[in-house]
Amino acid sequence: MTVHYLNYHRPCGYATQVVDRKGKISNRYEAYLTPYEKLMRPGMTMAELEPLAQSHSRVRSPRQAGKV
């Protein structure tokens, strides 16, 4: 999944899909993390994540997504 125009320091809600008794799927937003916290894995450093965060500028990301 590609996420465009993302601020890596602002918290985001991450959905968990839950199916009720009738089969309806609903989203529950129980985890609020910054993308840095979500992408962090054991053994990974912030120095490894920084190039990913800096790879797109605020102007270039919407253009690549086709929104400008």
Query: Which stretches within the chain are classed as H helix?
Result: 35-39, 46-54, 60-65
Rg (CA), the chain: 15
Single-letter amino acid, residue 45: T
Task: Report the pLDDT value the prediction gives residue 60, as an integer from 0 to 100.
Answer: 64
Q: What is the pLDDT of residues 51-62, one digit of tens each?
A: 877 776 666 666
What angle (nearest 5°) sits at the alpha carbon of residue 39, between those of residues 35 and 45? 110
Task: Report the pLDDT value the prediction gives residue 61, as an integer from 0 to 100.
Answer: 60
pTM for the whole thing? 0.49
As a whole number of angstroms, the distance between CA 64 and CA 51 comes to: 18
Q: What is the pLDDT of residues 23-51, one digit of tens each?
A: 999 999 999 988 778 878 888 888 887 88
Neighbours of 36 (CB within 10 A): 14
